[in-house]
Amino acid sequence: MASISISTSLFSRPQAQACSKTQNPSPKKNPNPKFKPKKVNKFKSLSLPRAPPPASSSLGAQATTYTRLPPKEDSGFEFEVPSLNESDEIKLSDSDIAKLAVKNGSSEIEAEMLVTDDDDDDDEEKEEVNQSLGFEDETLDGNIMGFYNGDESLDFEEEEDEVYYYDSDGKLVNLSGNEVDDLELVEVKEKGVPAVMRCFDRAKIYVKAGDGGKGVVAFRREKYVPLGGPSGGDGGRGGNVYLEVDGTMNSLLPFRNSVHFRAGRGAHGQGRMMCGRKGEDVVVKVAPGTVVREAGNEEVLLELLYPGQRALLLPGGRGGRGNASFKSGNNKVPKIAENGEEGPEMWLELELKLVADVGIVGAPNAGKSTLLSVISAAQPEIANYPFTTLLPNLGVVSFDYDSTMVVADLPGLLEGAHRGFGLGHEFLRHTERCSALVHVVDGSGQQPELEFDAVRLELELFSPELAEKPYVVAYNKMDLPEAYENWPSFKENLQGRGIETFCMSAVKREGTHEVICAAYKLLPKPKESNEGFEGFQDPVDLNHVADMVNKQRSSSINEFEITHDSSCNTWHVIGAGLQRFVQMTNWRYIDSEKRFQHVLEACGVNRSLMKLGVKEGDTVIVGEMEMVWHDSAEDSGTPNMKKRSTESIKWPQWK
Ligand SMILES: Nc1nc2c(ncn2[C@@H]2O[C@H](COP(=O)(O)OP(=O)(O)OP(=O)(O)O)[C@@H](O)[C@H]2O)c(=O)[nH]1
Ligand SMILES: [Mg+2]
């Protein structure tokens, strides 16, 4: 039985049907393996019962406003030194900061607590801190928040969970005094950010282009038109998926509610040569500054920066051809039509990075938001407790004529922020797009130099490139006596290290102009920044993902690999082109099988299998099809005539 031929019976169903098909029990394969949906990591669900109140001022770019700087003051302004004996406000710098993390069953929360010696004020402070973090004082769905007040009388309302703090040696310990591995805790803390913060600038969405419509088999039947010929129309193309920058959006919050975006499928073809309508496109709107990645992949697919930019991400599937397209000189009554091509699908990770020129960084409570409120018309929340700012705020600073710059006020940074402590690390990546930084230091703190160094270290540890960005130091709260007294030594220290330092009092609007002018000077010159804009004026190819999909689609059916599983005598023929061909073959029509055999022979699959030693009865899997190999046409009982007629048909080119 050595005759090995391409006949309709070459592959046949085990149940003796000639050239038949069975559905491969293995899951459906995407024609574009690269875009095969990856296993979706579940969102880390947040167990915090309440999100912090979405103060309008803290909703990212909502605070974007235009204003003009106050008139330039005399550079040699004088600070009024308040009397030392009056202290009508509790200064945070007088307080110890105890780091505390509470991990509780499903709820994991981190809080940075203020501890003062004054008991009455302590309660007030606690309440404020709680509010600032979006928690209310009593409970968190039965979970607890605790305060470490230095004398170990932890004030917990319910069961004790895992509580950590730094002891006097700077070691992270739990309540029993045992040292805790920092890294373990970081994981806990990273989860402990309230939902509103975590969803604001990151989202995971599913996109799918529309499938193509099916082609149909139809014949013209008309009075006085005998043998009217094939008239089955083609299916319509599936809808495309676009990503578009919407200038009115300032966060990715809308994706909390809608995650799935599917373009419409093309309509099926109809008789009388009527082609199906194209599927509806879907346009996913994103905020300016959105970075797009394929889920689980670090590689950036797209950076969408400017309002109006539009990228074709996934092109819809091609419509299947109707039988009119298969008509040829030797096949005048083709009984074949194709399925529509499946539209590709992907899970995408979106990340929003602010497009700000200058980022204001610094420790909590240093006066960053106050500075932004003074130099721009933005109205961020300002209050005398750490973590007032939970989300970045944007403000536009306008100088004379056309010179403006966008300034971002970021949440405060703590020691360990780069590993997830506090909130600032969630937003540090926003500074990656800034050209310069303003580092605000609370001059009224006990050791401003140490605070400065700690924040610098965090920036360096988070990203060396970030640390290399040009920056100015703004020594704040000069109106307070402690700050005023410490200023000379601070200035001397930093100037000795070659760091440009300014002093200011943000609340009194003194010295802020100098700071902001110095920051402006650090920005790339207008000419250089135009260069940066070239990408926008002469757009980079935003459709490269779609091009990649199209390239994969057009991969030749001659390119395939064959693997053999000897344990179950199974051969796998793997190739993107073949896979797509199988998916588009509509097995309802008899001619489809003939064409399928023809293609397998023409592209060399049969020859390769025989060379590799395929045997009678072996299973061969191509795409979704599972078939059984027969060495000859006679074995399956298919008449040779049929074989001859199959060979003689000329099929239109596969596309
Ligand atoms: N005396 C004095 N107080 C100031 C000055 N600047 C800011 N403050 C006060 O410091 C406190 C904190 O100010 P914010 O602007 O909220 O500080 P922040 O750095 O944005 O704080 P977080 O957002 O929590 O990181 C507020 O009570 C301000 O009024 C200043 O120049 N002098
Ligand atoms: Mg703030």
Are residues 342 and 246 both part of a single domain?
yes
Give domain status of residue 154, yes or no: no
Q: Are 313 and 205 in contact (CB under 8 A)?
A: no
Q: Is 459 in the pocket of ligand 1 (CB under 6 A)?
A: no
Are residues 348 and 361 both part of a single domain?
no
Predicted confidence at residue 174, as pLDDT, reads 60
Assess whether pLDDT exceeds 90 at residue 564. Answer: yes
Tell which atom from ligand 1 comes closest to the C-alpha of 389: 23
Confidence band for 125, pLDDT divided at 50, 70 and 90: very low
Q: Is 595 in the pocket of ligand 1 (CB under 6 A)?
A: no
The Cα 632–Cα 396 span in angstroms is 78
155-164 average pLDDT score:
38
Q: How many helices (H) and strands (E) does the chain have?
A: 15, 25
Q: 437 CA to middle of ligand 2, Å?
A: 15
Q: 360 CA to middle of ligand 2, Å?
A: 10
Nearest residue to 99 (alpha-carbon basis) of 157, 146, 138, 50: 146
Domain holding 443: CATH number?
A: 3.40.50.300
Predicted confidence at residue 609, as pLDDT, reads 92
- In tens, the pLDDT along 299-354 reads 899 989 888 899 999 999 999 999 999 988 888 889 999 999 999 999 999 988 77
Tell which atom from ligand 1 comes closest to the C-alpha of 505: 31
The Cα 431–Cα 354 span in angstroms is 8
For 51, the enclosing helix (H) or strand (E) is none
Give domain status of residue 295, yes or no: yes
Domain holding 610: CATH number?
A: 3.30.300.350
Predicted confidence at residue 417, as pLDDT, reads 61
- In tens, the pLDDT along 169-205 reads 656 556 566 665 554 444 443 333 333 334 357 889 9
Q: Is 387 in the pocket of ligand 1 (CB under 6 A)?
A: yes
Are residues 481 and 335 both part of a single domain?
no
> Which residue's alpha carbon is at the smallest distance from atom 8 of ligand 1?
367
Assess whether pLDDT exceeds 70 at residue 519. Answer: yes
Give domain status of residue 276, yes or no: yes
Predicted confidence at residue 183, as pLDDT, reads 44
Give domain status of residue 52, yes or no: no
Are residues 386 and 416 both part of a single domain?
yes
* Shortest-distance ligand to the CA of residue 443: 1
Give domain status of residue 476, yes or no: yes
Tell which atom from ligand 1 comes closest to the C-alpha of 385: 24
> Which residue's alpha carbon is at the smallest distance from atom 32 of ligand 1?
477
Assess whether pLDDT exceeds 80 at residue 117. Answer: no
**Edge to edge, what strands does the sheet with 172-174 contain?**
107-115, 96-104, 162-166, 172-174
Identify the domain boundary among 293, 328, 353: 353
> Which residue's alpha carbon is at the smallest distance from atom 2 of ligand 1?
477
Assess whether pLDDT exceeds 60 at residue 68. Answer: no
Q: 370 CA to middle of ligand 1, Å?
A: 6
> Which residue's alpha carbon is at the smallest distance from atom 23 of ligand 1?
389
Q: Is 510 in the pocket of ligand 1 (CB under 6 A)?
A: no
Are residues 504 and 607 both part of a single domain?
no
Confidence band for 107, pLDDT divided at 50, 70 and 90: very low
Q: Are 356 and 397 in contact (CB under 8 A)?
A: no
* Shortest-distance ligand to the CA of residue 511: 1
Tell which atom from ligand 1 comes closest to the C-alpha of 382: 16
Q: Are 603 and 8 in contact (CB under 8 A)?
A: no
Q: 388 CA to middle of ligand 1, Å?
A: 9
* Shortest-distance ligand to the CA of residue 364: 1
Are residues 360 and 317 both part of a single domain?
no
Are residues 299 and 420 both part of a single domain?
no
Assess whether pLDDT exceeds 70 at residue 577. Answer: yes
| pTM higher than the cut 0.80 | no
Identify the domain boundary among 498, 522, 546: 522
Helix axes 605-612, 590-602, angle to 10 degrees: 60
Identify the domain boundary among 353, 385, 420: 353
Assess whether pLDDT exceeds 70 at residue 526. Answer: no
Are residues 294 and 384 both part of a single domain?
no
Give domain status of residue 9, yes or no: no
Percent of the chain with pLDDT over 70: 61
User: Over the chain, what is the mean pLDDT?
Assistant: 70
The Cα 553–Cα 601 span in angstroms is 21
Q: Are 246 and 290 in contact (CB under 8 A)?
A: no
Alpha helix (H) residue ranges in 480-630: 481-496, 512-522, 526-537, 544-553, 576-584, 590-602, 605-612
The Cα 250–Cα 230 span in angstroms is 55
Q: 364 CA to middle of ligand 2, Å?
A: 7
Give domain status of residue 595, yes or no: yes
Q: Is 507 in the pocket of ligand 1 (CB under 6 A)?
A: yes
Q: 381 CA to middle of ligand 1, Å?
A: 10
> Which residue's alpha carbon is at the smallest distance from atom 27 of ligand 1?
384
Are residues 398 and 428 both part of a single domain?
yes
- Overall domain count for the chain: 3
Top mutation candidate among 83, 382, 478, 513 for ligand 1, by most atoms within 8 Å of CB = 382
The Cα 399–Cα 63 span in angstroms is 19
| CA distance from start to end of the chain | 36
Predicted confidence at residue 180, as pLDDT, reads 58
Are residues 497 and 582 both part of a single domain?
no
> Which residue's alpha carbon is at the smallest distance from atom 21 of ligand 1?
365
Are residues 348 and 371 both part of a single domain?
no
Are residues 206 and 336 both part of a single domain?
yes
- In tens, the pLDDT along 417-427 reads 656 565 556 66
Give domain status of residue 622, yes or no: yes
Confidence band for 211, pLDDT divided at 50, 70 and 90: very high
For the ranges 2-6, 142-146, 468-472, 568-572, which has the lowest average pLDDT? 142-146
Q: 92 CA to middle of ligand 1, Å?
A: 10
Helix axes 590-602, 640-648, angle to 10 degrees: 70
Q: Is 364 in the pocket of ligand 1 (CB under 6 A)?
A: yes
Top mutation candidate among 451, 507, 510, 512 for ligand 1, by most atoms within 8 Å of CB = 507
Residue 408: how many CA atoms within 13 Å on its side-chain side? 30
Confidence band for 30, pLDDT divided at 50, 70 and 90: very low
Domain holding 222: CATH number?
A: 2.70.210.12
Predicted confidence at residue 422, as pLDDT, reads 58
Tell which atom from ligand 1 comes closest to the C-alpha of 476: 31
Q: Is 365 in the pocket of ligand 1 (CB under 6 A)?
A: yes
Tell which atom from ligand 1 comes closest to the C-alpha of 373: 15
Exposed/middle/buried for residue 25 (C-beta within 10 Å: 0-12, 13-18, 19+): exposed
Predicted confidence at residue 508, as pLDDT, reads 93
Q: Is 241 in the pocket of ligand 1 (CB under 6 A)?
A: no
- What ipTM was assigned to the predicted interfaces of this complex? 0.99
Predicted confidence at residue 317, as pLDDT, reads 96
Q: Apex CA 452: angle with CA 446 and CA 456, to 5°?
A: 155
- Note down the domain range covering 605: 555-629
Tell which atom from ligand 1 comes closest to the C-alpha of 370: 15
Q: Is 132 in the pocket of ligand 1 (CB under 6 A)?
A: no
Predicted confidence at residue 173, as pLDDT, reads 57
Confidence band for 581, pLDDT divided at 50, 70 and 90: very high
